[in-house]
Homo-oligomer: A and B are copies of this chain.
């Protein structure tokens, strides 16, 4: 009896996995690079821009940057004259003409500085008729770091600690960091004589160019005055390293070109093209297309999803119930796609992550509903400290668990979604993808 119920859901479960897989595929570095670069002989087209291919240099930083650089090599092989890419320790790929520097993440180390120095040296040697392809992905901010003169790596770390303890926001933290760096906040672009095409895998919701990897090739809207205002706001003069204070508080030679980070009207950006080749929105749009290809009426609810995972699950269940009952907000067979990142307030000592917890809370809410499937998965391959990236729930999940003597509410109470879904074989396991396009939720109602 129970087995029949489970079987009846299988086609819908398989559809949910297919749709989620489409989102993952959109984030695959190689595929995303190949979709972005259209080469025809000596010409390269990137969206609305075209470039002559003479000498091409490849730079990059981020957890996926080796894989991205490899994909660029496959396309532009004969035109590449050199390159320098910073990656996290162990995140390598076979590269012919591009040198790799392994460096620290999430905290920058001396190798982050060495990698940045190599990239800066390379950019300074470029000519105006060269082309620089810059591959950027999550983790780039730590893997590419080059502080201003007089400020040591330890001073940067101490500054971050002081700001976090004071309760500064991530935007405030980044404002300070950009003004202690020679590469962040558009300053990397300044080093190049050649045009730069930045190909960006974004791990930040909404893909703000000035935030991803600290925006090394994007205009920065923050100023030294902003940085000083933050120090005053939190009254941090006594706690910051002397070198940091000295740099931020020196008199403002506003007439000196290249003093502050470059703003959007800076002429250097006329030769910079920033292209987001994959982000959560692109992944969700791919999932949306896949759902429609499978015959679902599909709706993209949001790519800014946030909130406590177990409460967000209740909203999804409420939408499922409305679709099942009265075909709102769309008619059956329906697919709701959402992207973003929920949060989990950990109260128990179980294993899991926000995606697995959302699926578990969802399983409780949709228990007994026929033909509803709820999948929540991360795109980076790891959800919390587990080897799963998410889980899949349907209306029979609770019954199947009960057959094994498992009480879903007890597992949820101790944040133990991993051990709830594992024996049910409902974990989604992909292995690390080295890309992070945040999370994708797929809900199907038939």
Q: A147 contacts the other chain (Cβ, under 8 Å)?
A: no
CB–CB B319/A311 < 8 A: no
CB–CB B325/A206 < 8 A: yes
CB–CB A322/B308 < 8 A: no
Nearest CB in chain B: distance from A437 CB, A:
15
Residues A408-437 near B (CB distance < 8 A): none
* Interface-located stretch among A40-48, A130-138, A296-304, A371-379: A296-304
Given A304-B322, A307-B314, A340-B318, A299-B329 contact (CB < 8 Å): yes
Nearest CB in chain B: distance from A419 CB, A:
25
Which residues of chain B have C-beta atoms less than 8 A from A300's C-beta?
322, 328-329
Residue of B nearest to A303 (CB): B322
Residues A133-182 near B (CB distance < 8 A): none
Please give the count of copies of this chain that the complex contains. Answer: 2
Q: A326 contacts the other chain (Cβ, under 8 Å)?
A: yes
Nearest CB in chain B: distance from A287 CB, A:
12
Alpha-carbon separation in the docked complex, A319 to B302 (Å): 5
Residues A107-135 near B (CB distance < 8 A): none
| Contact flags A316-340 to B (C-beta < 8 A → 1, else 0) | 0111011001101100000000101
Q: A306 contacts the other chain (Cβ, under 8 Å)?
A: yes
Alpha-carbon separation in the docked complex, A245 to B340 (Å): 53
Given A311-B311, A315-B315, A302-B321 contact (CB < 8 Å): yes
Residue of B nearest to A315 (CB): B315
Alpha-carbon separation in the docked complex, A418 to B306 (Å): 25
CB–CB A307/B302 < 8 A: no
Q: A281 contacts the other chain (Cβ, under 8 Å)?
A: yes
CB–CB B314/A302 < 8 A: no
Which residues of chain B have C-beta atoms less than 8 A from A303's C-beta?
322, 326, 328
Alpha-carbon separation in the docked complex, A300 to B327 (Å): 10
Q: A248 contacts the other chain (Cβ, under 8 Å)?
A: no
Q: A12 contacts the other chain (Cβ, under 8 Å)?
A: no
Q: A37 contacts the other chain (Cβ, under 8 Å)?
A: no
Alpha-carbon separation in the docked complex, A292 to B311 (Å): 30
Which residues of chain B have C-beta atoms less than 8 A from A329's C-beta?
299-302, 329
Q: A17 contacts the other chain (Cβ, under 8 Å)?
A: no
Residues A335-350 near B (CB distance < 8 A): 338, 340
CB–CB A301/B281 < 8 A: no
CB–CB B308/A328 < 8 A: no
Q: A305 contacts the other chain (Cβ, under 8 Å)?
A: yes
Q: A401 contacts the other chain (Cβ, under 8 Å)?
A: no
Nearest CB in chain B: distance from A410 CB, A:
14
Which residues of chain B have C-beta atoms less than 8 A from A340's C-beta?
318
Nearest CB in chain B: distance from A322 CB, A:
4
Which residues of chain B have C-beta atoms less than 8 A from A321's C-beta?
206, 302, 304
Q: A312 contacts the other chain (Cβ, under 8 Å)?
A: yes
CB–CB A318/B299 < 8 A: no
- A positions within 8 Å CB-CB of B: 206, 281, 299-308, 311-312, 314-315, 317-319, 321-322, 325-326, 328-329, 338, 340, 365
Could you pull out 11 A-B pairs where Cβ atoms are within 8 angstroms?
A300-B322, A300-B329, A301-B328, A302-B318, A302-B322, A302-B329, A303-B322, A304-B322, A306-B317, A311-B312, A312-B314
Give the 9 A-B CB pairs with smallest separation, nearest first. Answer: A311-B311, A307-B314, A302-B322, A304-B318, A302-B318, A300-B328, A307-B311, A304-B321, A299-B329
Given A302-B321, A307-B312, A329-B329, 18 additional A-B pairs, CB 8 A: A206-B321, A299-B329, A301-B319, A301-B322, A301-B328, A301-B329, A303-B328, A304-B317, A304-B318, A304-B322, A304-B325, A306-B318, A307-B314, A307-B315, A307-B318, A312-B314, A315-B315, A318-B338
